[in-house]
Structure 1
Amino acid sequence: MSTVPAGAAAPESQPRSGEDDVPEEVGSAGDGAAERPGVGARLTSLGLVLLTVLCGITLVLGFVNKDRCSGPRFDEWGRSQPDFDMRRYEDVCYSDIQTLWIGRDIDRHVFPYVHGSLSEEGWPVGGVVEYPVLTGVFIWASAIPAATDADFLLYSALLLAPFGLATVWLLGRMSGWRALLWAIGPPLVLYAFHNWELPVVLCATAAFYVVHRGWGRRGSDRPLLTRATAAAVLLGLGFAFKVYPAIFVLPLMLYVLTGGRGGREDDGRPSPDWKGALRVAFTALGTAVAVNVPFMVAGFEGWRASFTFQLLRKADITTNSIWFWGLRPSSNPENVPVQELIGVLSPVLMLMSFVVACAIGWARYQREGSYPWVPVSAAMLCGFLLLHKVHSPQYTLWLIPMFVLLRVRWGWILAYLVADLAMGIGIFRWYYEIFYGEHGDILDGFAAQAVMIGVWGRAALLVALFFAFLSAKETFRRERLTV
């Protein structure tokens, strides 16, 4: 017979039947196990439909915002005219989707990676795009019926939108109306169709969902390992879209190693469960390898070029990171010593932040009896966003589900959204001033100040959120355990 960890609410002897029966949460030590109003409450089917409709409306607004850059005329390459290069910055309707229509052979409908490489100048050519393979295939598929950059934006939006809707549905199932942060938040308007983030966000969100609300909860002798294995597949797929979900594999391994919630989700199994943890690792790795191997075989040089491009990318005005704004290699972007220093400090400090997050999570596990893999994952994401040499504005979409799933102060969330808004609008007005405006110092003016507020505001908040997430409780409710 298992025991309930100290501070947890005592569960009933038998669970209620039905997939959607979500009884009271077994709380962590110090939480009081009392559910707060509006947090973790089940949404009715009508509530989920309403939440999804609201998200759909936001996605439409996001498309309209980006579509302002389209047309009204097109040149022989299908590029919007007139003055597309200037308008995308001046009117703050820039999207990578429209921009990359030209220059990556997307307009020529070349299947990605197979025949491509990097040019002598280090730019992807011949079908290479600077993203992992599933995103590359998604880009190619979106472009099949397109003849102009406006078509490409439209078809991309149509294919991306279901991923955004599925994400809000899962968040709503887990955390109730708190999912409005995703459904109607400004980041979805700004970034839903800025780049190709929605599929990878769904992969990460779905991984959290299947562990805590997905299949394998009953009728299996290893319900935790069943769910964790499914989540590992999703995280491996996420790596093949945009890499970052791979960092969540380590805290998931530690969650399985320690037996899940209360250390007893797979009763009768040895603790620590090393075999289960290794199964999670090999499942995620195997999924990522299985997706990538066909491209490696078909065109190794083109496949490698997508990763090489990111490794060689310099910290410049396009990276929006603390490294550019802190070390300022702007006077000479080819400043080799500075770029080499960034190339070392960025990954080393990121890895150190991951270790610190996992260690603090372990200390919390020893106090409370459950390894907090979702809070640790959120903290690791903060470390990644803060310390990576590239911090594109649309990465905010990666963070929003963490605001939904974890109980952090609303002031932190609001402050981050304000800083992100300053960045998301200011960065493109700043580019317009640099390339087309009349200025003296490129750091003068309102747009430059807005960018600095965005960069340093987000950086300070990510440091604070790193620790806030590590002490946060989940907002979602989970199945009742039996003893």
Structure 2
Amino acid sequence: MGWDRQIRRLMLALALTCALGWLFKAHCAPGGWTGSEQYSTGCYSDAVPFWTGRGVAGGEIPYFQTRLEYPVLTGALIWVEGGITRALFGASANAMHFLFIVTLFNALLAGLVLWLLRRAGMEDRRLWAWALAPPLVLYVGHNWDLLAIAFTVAAMLLARSSRTVAAAATAGLGLAAKLYPVLMLPLLGLGVLFGSSDPWLKRLRLATLLSLAAIGAWALANLPVAASAFTNWSEFYTFSSERSGTAASFWEIMGVQGWWATSTPDRNLYAALAFLAGAAGIIGLGWRQHRERLWILFTPLLAWFMLTNKVYSPQFDLWLYPMLLMTAPRLRPVALFVAAGTAAYFAEFWWFASMEQAWPYTVTPGHIALAAAIRAAAMLWLIWDALRLPPPEWLTREAPASTF
């Protein structure tokens, strides 16, 4: 397909979107966060506290010299970005410079996603919905989740091309950057074992290969670090299990509203049970529609995981958004999801501001609950659509040989 006029226009639009994202996060960084402006204006970014709080400014190596509550590949990306920041800006390097480099790398990852989707033959309106994505404005400078997103999109496209082993390996690398790509692996395995009419021996051999590919890719990234710095390497997993919840999660909303208060261990248990029950239902109900493309069910599985998880950080919306553009049969509920997610983002950060007696003063957890409820309704709508409607037409066409 090459770099024709359309892809150049799309990339230009994406660059402008990411530039808006940079301005959205960077406008309050130069003078340091004062008067809770990181919450009042929504310009909070993990890059700013990480610059000094995780040793990035001093060049400390993640896991070996400093703790880090991210998986290994994300930690490696943070270290590389920190090194580039110090190399470019020298002794004057600060959190503002680091935020710029983080945003630049995320913009490049967003561009990679756009390029992959364009080469895979995604229809134009969905490509423009990524190039002009409101969630990118909010999150391109927020943290490092776009690395896992790029791996996940690539894994989905590999699965579409029937390159199942490569898809599993890519999902394994995504798991080394963030936890949620693991949800794709059972779908790939079930699709290989029960989604074709090949002889059983061939299916078992392929299932074994994709399992080894996923485990091997994850282990290649993780074992060297885990063997040398186990305590700091395991920080991500211990932090995730011990974290009580976030303001927009179902469990936290229930507790804050006084409807059902639960302890952290109980939330871990109930969230796992709710997810497993719903996941079984999603796979069971979606089997007839998507048996030959079971990987499509990754999108409703991810949405259900986000809804049932004890943590729903605002940037989780960016996990789901490109998956929806790829697989959602209709885009109207996607638009509702984006609108409600944007409202939830500002409701949550404005509530943080109000707790510090900063503008706006009147935001309450009730406002967060309302925005989260509308977003949850959109997500349930999207899950239902994914189970009962055929996938977008572009997914059912033969994948171009030049996708990768």
When the two structures are superposed, what TM-score results if normalisation uses the length of structure 1? 0.75
Which one of 98, 102, 127 corresponds to residue 156 of structure 1? 102
Radius of gyration: which is bigger? 1
Match of 1:185 among 133, 147, 153: 133
Counterparts of 1:275 and 1:248, CA distance in 2: 19
Corresponding residue number in structure 1 for 2:378: 461
CA distance in 2, matches of 1:474, 1:172: 18
Q: Is the 8 Å Cα contact of residues 207 and 232 (structure 1) preserved in structure 2?
A: yes
Look up the match of 1:216: none
- 1:315 corresponds to 2:269: no
Compute the displacement of 1:279 (Å): 1.6
Q: Following the alignment from structure 1 to structure 2, what is the Cα–Cα distance between the partners of residues 136 and 329? A: 36
The alpha carbon displacement at 1:276 in A equals: 1.0
Q: Which residue of 2 aligns with 1:295?
A: 225
The C-alpha deviation readout for 1:149-182, integer Å capped at 9, x for no partner, is 1011011122222110010122223312112221
| Alignment partner of 2:184 out of 248, 253, 260 | 248
| Corresponding residue to 2:327 among 406, 417, 420 | 406
- Residues 181 and 400 in structure 1, CA contact (< 8 A), matched pair in contact too: no
What one-letter code is carried by the residue in structure 2 that aligns with 1:414? A
**Residues 90/385 of structure 1: CA separation in 2 closer, same or farther (3 Å cut):** same
Match for 1:243: what amino acid?
Answer: L
Letter in 2 for 1:51: L
- Mapped to 2, the partners of 1:429 and 1:133 lie a distance apart of 32
**Per the alignment, in what secondary structure is the counterpart of residue 102 of structure 1?**
helix
**Which ranges of structure 2 fall in alignment gaps of 5 or more residues?**
87-92
Distance of 2:333 and 2:387 partners within structure 1: 14
Change over 3 Å in CA distance of 1:280–1:438 after alignment to 2: closer
Look up the SS of the partner of 2:263 in the other structure.
Answer: helix
CA distance in 1, matches of 2:46, 2:258: 23
Question: For the structure 1 residues 150 and 233, does the alpha-carbon distance in structure 2 shift closer, same or farther, using more than 3 Å as the test?
Answer: same
2:269 aligned partner: 344
Higher helix proportion = 2
TM-superposed CA distance for 1:105, in Å, is: 2.1
In structure 2, the partner of 1:141 is 80
Aligned counterparts of 1:100 and 1:436: Cα–Cα separation in 2: 25
What amino acid is aligned across from residue 459 of structure 1 in structure 2?
A
Paired residues of 2:249 and 2:309 also in contact (CA < 8 A):
yes
Q: Is the 8 A contact 2:244 2:263 kept in 1?
A: no
| Aligned-residue offset at 1:433 | 0.5
| CA 1:139–1:480: 2 relative to 1, 3 Å | closer
Pick closer, same or farther for the CA change 1:407–1:438 going to 2, 3 Å.
Answer: closer
Moved more, 196-205 or 102-111: 102-111
**Percent of aligned positions that are identical:** 27
Count residues in correspondence.
388
SS at match of 2:380: helix
**TM-score, normalising length from structure 2?**
0.88
- Tell me what 2:117 maps to: 171
Residue 108 of structure 1 corresponds to 58
Secondary structure of 2:70's aligned partner? coil
Question: 1:295: how far off?
Answer: 0.6
The CA deviation at 1:272 is 7.4
Q: Residue 168 of structure 2: which of 232, 236, 247 is its match?
A: 232
Distance 1:315 1:156 in 2: 26
| 1:328 aligned partner | 256
Q: Where does residue 257 of structure 1 map in the other structure?
A: 193
Letter matched to residue 115 of structure 2: W
Contact 2:243 2:264 in 1 (8 A): no
Q: Is the 8 A contact 1:422 1:450 kept in 2?
A: no
CA distance in 1, matches of 2:359, 2:29: 26
Letter in 1 for 2:53: G
TM-superposed deviation, 1:303: 0.7
CA positional deviation for 1:404: 1.5
Distance 1:243 1:429 in 2: 28
Stretches of structure 1 lacking an aligned partner (at least 5 in a row): 1-19, 21-42, 73-79, 116-126, 214-223
Paired position in structure 2 for 1:392: 313
Is the alpha carbon distance of 1:142 and 1:44 closer, same or farther for their aligned partners in structure 2, counting shifts above 3 Å? closer
Deviations 1:327-386 (A, max 9, x none): 22899xxx8x53232121011211222222222233335xxxx43323311111011110
In the alignment, the residues of structure 2 paired with residue 187 and residue 406 of structure 1 have an alpha-carbon distance, to the nearest angstrom, of: 18
Shift of 1:449: 4.6
Which residue does 1:34 correspond to in 2? Answer: none
Q: 1:57 aligns with which of 16, 23, 39?
A: 16
Output the CA distance in 1 between the equivalents of 2:146 and 2:235: 23
> In 1, are the aligned partners of 2:130 and 2:322 still within 8 Å (CA)?
yes
